Amino acid sequence: MAQVTLDRVRKTYPNGFEAVQPCSVEIPDGELVVLVGPSGCGKSTLLRMIAGLEDITDGALSIGTDVVNDKDPADRNIAMVFQNYALYPHMSVAKNMGYGLKNRGASKAEIDAKVQEAARILNLGDYLDRRPSQLSGGQRQRVAMGRAIVRDPELFLFDEPLSNLDAKLRNQMRIEIRALQQRLGVTSVYVTHDQVEAMTMADRIIVLNAGRVEQIGTPTEIYERPASTFVAGFMGAPPMNLMTAALVSGQLQVGGETKLPLTPPAVATDEVLVGYRPEDVRLGGDGSVVLDVQIIEELGANRLLHGQLGGQAFSISIGKDEQAQVGPQPITLPQDRVHFFHPERGTRL
Amino acid sequence: MTDMTQASIATPARPRRSKRFRWSQVFDHAILCTGAFFMVFPVFLVLMTTSFEDADIVRNGLQFGFEGQMLENFEAAMFEAAGFSKAITGTRMLMNSLILGFGFAIGKIVISMMAAYAIVYFRLRFATFAFWIIFTTLLLPLEVRILPSYEAIQSLGLANTYSGLIIPLIASATGTFFFRQFFRSIPEELVEAARIDGAGPIKFFIDILVPLSRTMIAAIFIIMFVYGWNQYLWPTLITTDEGMFTLVRGIKQIVQVLSQTGAMIPEYGKALALSLIAMIPPVLIVIFFQSWFVKGLTESDK
Ligand SMILES: Nc1ncnc2c1ncn2[C@@H]1O[C@H](COP(=O)(O)OP(=O)(O)O)[C@@H](O)[C@H]1O
Ligand SMILES: [Mg+2]
């Protein structure tokens, strides 16, 4: 087990593209950190630098107490699970899992014991003699996990390990991976573009945007106090509503006439971005704020009302027991749930 | 590459909708049978002719009947010392041919796999350039460079040796090309997983690449073995010692030697028997590796 420290780690590809801007983060022993962000934001690059598959342009990476920048992937005592599993097609499940141990000179008895143990944990006992091509997607995923755990690594790295699975299996595997990681207590870095995976699995989340770290925090912090409009929009489904509001003599206004009954933040700009999570807005109220509902989406557990507020798109989520119709509806914007962002920089105020 | 061959093999196996008699099938089979007949007929004719005496063959040419000489002719072809120096028998020639065929095929596979490995997996500065240089040697087959090759082998003292017979033919642009294409189709993640699993370059080659390439190896082996077996020009040039003769070149030598029965006629029966024997190993190789090849394809799972 080990802690992982990134100290201003940066990556510029040989073609001059800066894929990861300087990134500093400390991952304590046993923590599962999720790297999340849209496709192409540099998640895999960062993960592959930790794995040693990609050179680190600048900065220091330590696993445990050693700086490992120049160590070979095999010497970093890590294990990685790839999106397409990368199982050796010509080897049986048992051989696949034992290959890393064999290369490290483990005895046959030791390999057998470890493989059996991993197979037991992952319910793969009946499949040890099969080839990867004779397994389902979920089973291959498990073999990839098995290959990672047999070696007792100090660090697990996952690169979108669930994105080739169907939705149901994905939910199930998500829970299994999390449970396994907690049981083994191995420090882990998990890459995904799926914000649900990030929220549900992470001890802490690192949100990446175009190679830059937008925010690092626990799922609750990220959700409750997004550091920027990017994080606010990326984390949470449906995403947070963001409205541009004018500051007219200490009063927030949207669309010229609707006054928002909110205490504005102390800023020197004449506009702010007002953010509300759809579920933080309540239906009903004194009529000072009215949402013009245009579409009602039925989700079973709740309903989404999409409409316009002061001429800007706005959505709210209501419980399944509440009634709603298309047309103007009074809503309540609670002061304690509002998020303010800088109109140009998008940073939290 | 694998997928393509797989598809072409899988198509005929598509389940037929009905077992109804179809005229188109009769037609297909007629074409097949005609083709097979044209291929098998000459071989059969030669086989029958080996049962005649040399004198008979000289007088009447190839013929269908059956006389009692077949066994004698084959026995003579295989075991009777022949040639001017009486240093060679059919078995010896067969062995020489096998050494050439296997050496040629195995050598080509080893060399071209290693070349392709270097080109695809190592960050060599001139990898692409090197590949195209290798590729342009397709334009320079042995026939074009035969004099310098002969000169080199001769001055190295490798004339009349197996090494001299095999080594100049061993570099293979085609093999390198096919292995390069195949290696490039192997997913990058597999290489990375192996790296993390602690497989160095040599382990990766032996544990991962070679087993994954087995269908490729089988295919190239078939082609190269037959190609090597049928080499005529180079062995003719480099082997003057009759003990080094291969079957393909030795047959001609035998026809030139006159029969000892006193009738001063070439030993046609023996030559025909030898030419039949010369056909057997390539056929066996194709049959053997073909089943292996298909098995590899159906089990393959890249
Ligand atoms: N070898 C490379 N050379 C140049 N640019 C690359 C290379 N690999 C990835 N990139 C670029 O770096 C960015 C980040 O890639 P990646 O880390 O794979 O993103 P993702 O977050 O989707 O995993 C992308 O814009 C990609 O085009
Ligand atoms: Mg990626």
Per the structure, the complete domain to which residue A36 belongs is given by: 4-234
Do the chains contact at B192 and A82, CB–CB below 8 Å? yes
In this structure, the answer to whether residues A70 and A125 fall within a common structural domain is yes
Predicted confidence at residue B84, as pLDDT, reads 66
Find residue A188's DSSP bridge partners: A32, A156
pLDDT of B251 above 50: yes
**Residue A347 DSSP symbol:** B
Quick check: bond before B211 cis, omega within 30?
Answer: no
Are the C-beta atoms of A130 and A83 separated by less than 8 Å?
no
Nearest 5°: phi and psi at A122?
-100, 10
Predicted confidence at residue B87, as pLDDT, reads 72
Inter-chain contacts counted by CB atoms under 8 A, chains A and B: 62
Q: How far is the CA of A57 from the centre of ligand 1 (A)?
A: 14
In this structure, the answer to whether residues A91 and A212 fall within a common structural domain is yes
Q: Residue B85 burial (CB < 10 Å; 0-12/13-18/19+)?
A: exposed
**Residue A132 DSSP symbol:** G
In this structure, the answer to whether residues A82 and A167 fall within a common structural domain is yes
pLDDT of B11 above 60: no
- In tens, the pLDDT along B263-274 reads 567 778 888 888
- In tens, the pLDDT along A80-90 reads 999 999 999 99
Instruction: Tell me, yes or no, whether A349 lies in a domain.
Output: no
Q: What would the two tokens of residue A171 be? A: 């939910």
In this structure, the answer to whether residues A269 and A330 fall within a common structural domain is yes
Give contacts of B302 with chain A, Cβ < 8 Å.
89
In this structure, the answer to whether residues A292 and A163 fall within a common structural domain is no
Instruction: Tell me, yes or no, whether A347 lies in a domain.
Output: no
Interface of A with B (CB under 8 A): 51, 53, 72-74, 78-80, 82-84, 86-90, 99-100, 103-104, 131-133, 147
CATH architecture under which domain B99-238 falls: Orthogonal Bundle (1.10)
Are the C-beta atoms of A57 and A134 separated by less than 8 Å?
no
Q: Of A234, A256, A276, at which residue does a domain stop? A: A234
In this structure, the answer to whether residues A135 and A155 fall within a common structural domain is yes
pLDDT confidence of B202, banded at 50, 70, 90? very high
Instruction: Tell me, yes or no, whether A290 lies in a domain.
Output: yes
Min Cα distance B171 → chain A (Å) is 29
| Average pLDDT of every residue of chain A | 91
Question: What is the rounded CA–CA span in Å between residue A149 and residue A101?
Answer: 11
Predicted confidence at residue A306, as pLDDT, reads 94
- In tens, the pLDDT along A186-196 reads 999 999 999 99
pLDDT of B239 above 90: no
pLDDT of A48 above 50: yes
- Ligand 1 atom, smallest distance to A208 CA: 21
In this structure, the answer to whether residues A95 and A214 fall within a common structural domain is yes
Nearest CA in chain A to B214: A90
Cα dist from B244 to A140, A233, B159, whole Å = 55, 80, 10
For chain A, how are helix, strand and coil distributed in percent, rounded to 5? 30, 35, 40
Instruction: Tell me, yes or no, whether A346 lies in a domain.
Output: no
pLDDT of A282 above 50: yes
Average pLDDT of A225-244? 92
CA angle B57, B60, B62 (to 5 degrees): 65
pLDDT of B13 above 50: no
Average pLDDT of A166-189? 91
Question: What is the rounded CA–CA span in Å between residue B96 and residue B247?
Answer: 8
pLDDT confidence of A32, banded at 50, 70, 90? very high
Question: What is the rounded CA–CA span in Å between residue B201 and residue B122?
Answer: 9
Q: Report the share of chain B in percent with pLDDT over 90.
A: 30
Do the chains contact at B197 and A103, CB–CB below 8 Å? yes
Strands A32-36 and A187-192: parallel
In this structure, the answer to whether residues A18 and A155 fall within a common structural domain is yes
Give contacts of A88 with chain B, Cβ < 8 Å.
190, 193-194, 208
Predicted confidence at residue A18, as pLDDT, reads 93
Predicted confidence at residue A267, as pLDDT, reads 79
CATH number of the structural domain spanning residue A140: 3.40.50.300
Q: What would the two tokens of residue B269 be? A: 């029966």
Do the chains contact at A86 and B198, CB–CB below 8 Å? no
- In tens, the pLDDT along B28-68 reads 999 999 999 999 999 999 888 888 887 788 788 887 877 77
pLDDT of A133 above 60: yes
Min Cα distance B197 → chain A (Å) is 4
In this structure, the answer to whether residues A255 and A163 fall within a common structural domain is no
Count of domains in chain A? 2
In this structure, the answer to whether residues A289 and A170 fall within a common structural domain is no
pLDDT of A31 above 80: yes
Question: What is the rounded CA–CA span in Å between residue B117 and residue B115?
Answer: 5
Do the chains contact at B196 and A132, CB–CB below 8 Å? no
Instruction: Note which residues in 80-119 of chain B have CB less than 8 A from chain A.
Output: none
Mutate to test the interface with A, among B196, B208, B217 (most CBs of A within 10 A): B196
In this structure, the answer to whether residues A225 and A280 fall within a common structural domain is no
Q: Of A234, A269, A295, at which residue does a domain stop? A: A234
B6 interfacial to chain A (CB closer than 8 Å)? no
B197, B214, B299 ranked by CB distance to A99: nearest: B197
pLDDT of B26 above 50: yes
**Residue A229 DSSP symbol:** H
Average pLDDT of B249-271? 70
pLDDT confidence of B249, banded at 50, 70, 90? confident
Ligand 1, CB cutoff 6 Å, lining residues: A 13, 15, 17, 19, 37, 39-45
Instruction: Tell me, yes or no, whether A318 lies in a domain.
Output: yes
Instruction: Tell me, yes or no, whether A329 lies in a domain.
Output: yes
pLDDT of B5 above 60: no
In this structure, the answer to whether residues A215 and A335 fall within a common structural domain is no
Are the C-beta atoms of A177 and A21 separated by less than 8 Å?
no
Counting ligands in written order, the one closest to the CA of A13 is 1
Do the chains contact at B211 and A82, CB–CB below 8 Å? no
**Residue A210 DSSP symbol:** T
Q: What would the two tokens of residue B221 be? A: 């082996």
Find residue A293's DSSP bridge partners: A307, A327
Q: What would the two tokens of residue A272 be? A: 């702010």
Cα dist from B49 to B40, B256, B271, whole Å = 14, 19, 11
pLDDT confidence of B257, banded at 50, 70, 90? low
Give contacts of B197 with chain A, Cβ < 8 Å.
74, 99-100, 103, 147
- In tens, the pLDDT along B97-119 reads 999 999 999 999 999 999 999 99
Question: What is the rounded CA–CA span in Å between residue B13 and residue B18?
Answer: 14
Counting ligands in written order, the one closest to the CA of A206 is 1
- Ligand 1 atom, smallest distance to A159 CA: 23
Question: What is the rounded CA–CA span in Å between residue A176 and residue A184?
Answer: 12
Predicted confidence at residue B258, as pLDDT, reads 58
Mutate to test the interface with B, among A99, A115, A156, A191 (most CBs of B within 10 A): A99
- Ligand 1 atom, smallest distance to A191 CA: 23
Nearest CA in chain A to B211: A90
Predicted confidence at residue B298, as pLDDT, reads 59
Q: What is the SS3 string spanning chain B?
A: CHHHHHHHHHHHHCCCCCCCCCHHHHHHHHHHHHHHHHHHHHHHHHHHHCCCCHHHHHHHCCCCCCCCCHHHHHHHHHHCCECCCCCECHHHHHHHHHHHHHHHHHHHHHHHHHHHHHHHHCCCCCHHHHHHHHHHHHHCCCCCCHHHHHHHHHHCCCCCCHHHHHHHHCCCHHHHHHHHHHHHCCCHHHHHHHHHCCCCHHHHHHHHHHHHCHHHHHHHHHHHHHHHHCCCHHHHHHCCCHHHCCHHHHHHHHHHCECCCCCCCECHHHHHHHHHHHHHHHHHHHHHHHHHHHHHHHHCCC
Nearest CA in chain B to A78: B196
- In tens, the pLDDT along B112-158 reads 999 999 999 988 888 888 888 888 888 888 788 888 889 999 999 88
pLDDT confidence of B71, banded at 50, 70, 90? confident
Q: How far is the CA of B300 from the centre of ligand 1 (A)?
A: 31
Q: Report the share of chain A in percent with pLDDT over 90.
A: 75
Q: Where are the domains of chain B?
A: 2-88+247-280, 99-238
ipTM of this predicted structure: 0.86
Instruction: Tell me, yes or no, whether A11 lies in a domain.
Output: yes
Count, in order, helices (H) and strands (E) of chain A: 8, 20
Question: What is the rounded CA–CA span in Å between residue B200 and residue B8?
Answer: 36
| Residue of A81, A90, A68, A86 lying closest to A32 (CA atoms) | A81
Are the C-beta atoms of B53 and B269 separated by less than 8 Å?
yes
